[in-house]
Amino acid sequence: RASMAKPLLKIQRYFRRKPVRFFSLILLYLTAGSLVFLHSGFVGDSSPGARGGRDPVVASSETGSRTSLSDTRGLGIMSRVFKETRRSGRRYGPPWMKKSRQEGHETTVRRGGDYTNNWNRALKGRNAKDMDDGRAKYIGCYVDDTQKRALRGVSFFDYKKMTVFRCQDNCAERGYMYAGLEFGAECYCGHKIQAPNASESECNMECKGEKSNQCGGANRLSIYRLELSQESARRYGSAIFKGCFHRPDNVTLALPFTAVIQNMSVDKCVDMCTEREKSLAVLAGDRCHCGFPTSLFSLHELEDEDLCLHRCHGEEFESCGNDEYFVVYQTQVQDNRCMDRHFLPTRAKQLVALASFPGAGNTWARHLIELATGFYTGSYYFDGSLYNKGFKGERDHWRSGRTICIKTHESGRKEIEAFDSSILMIRNPYKALMAEFNRKYGGHIGFASQAHWRGKEWPEFVRNYAPWWASHTLDWLNYGKNVQVVHFEDLKRDLFSQLKGMVQFLGLKVSEDRLLCVEGQKDGNFKRSGLRKLEYDPYTPEMRAHISELIRTVDAALKKRKMSGVPEEYMPR
DSSP 386-413: HHHTT-GGGGS-TTSS-SS-EEE---SH
Which helix (DSSP H) or strand (DSSP E) does residue 31 occupy? helix 19-43
279 closest CA partner among 321, 224, 222, 240: 240
- Which pLDDT value is given to residue 431? 92
pLDDT in tens, 511-549: 999 999 999 888 765 555 555 566 788 999 999 999 999
Start-end of H helices in 123-241: 164-173
- Cβ of 27: how many Cβ atoms within 10 Å? 10
Going by C-beta distance under 8 Å and a sequence separation of 6 or more, which residues neighbour residue 338?
A: 371, 372, 374, 514, 515, 517, 518, 521
DSSP-assigned letter for residue 240: E
How far apart are the C-alpha atoms of 224 and 234, rounded to whole Å?
A: 19
416 closest CA partner among 363, 466, 362, 355: 355
Going by C-beta distance under 8 Å and a sequence separation of 6 or more, which residues neighbour residue 300?
A: 496
Judged by DSSP in three states, 137 sits in: strand
CB of 192 closer than 8 Å to CB of 177: yes
Per DSSP bridges, beta strands 352-356 and 406-408 are: parallel
- Which pLDDT value is given to residue 115? 28
Which helix (DSSP H) or strand (DSSP E) does residue 479 occupy? helix 457-479
Start-end of H helices in 189-298: 251-254, 266-275
- Which pLDDT value is given to residue 128? 61
How far apart are the C-alpha atoms of 92 and 412, rounded to whole Å?
A: 11
**Residues in the chain, pLDDT under 50:** 37-89, 99, 101-126, 133, 573
Backbone angles phi, psi at 74, to 5 degrees: 65, 45
CB of 338 closer than 8 Å to CB of 517: yes
pLDDT in tens, 307-338: 998 889 888 778 899 999 999 999 988 888 99
How far apart are the C-alpha atoms of 151 and 461, rounded to whole Å?
A: 43
- Which pLDDT value is given to residue 234? 60
Which helix (DSSP H) or strand (DSSP E) does residue 514 occupy? helix 512-520
The interaxial angle of helices 2-17 and 19-43, nearest 10 deg, is 100
- Which pLDDT value is given to residue 114? 32
Angstrom CA distances, 128 to 72, 156, 530, stand at 30, 20, 18
DSSP-assigned letter for residue 273: H
How many Cα atoms are found within 13 Å in the side-chain-facing hemisphere of 77?
7
Start-end of H helices in 276-394: 362-373, 384-388
How far apart are the C-alpha atoms of 113 and 482, rounded to whole Å?
A: 41
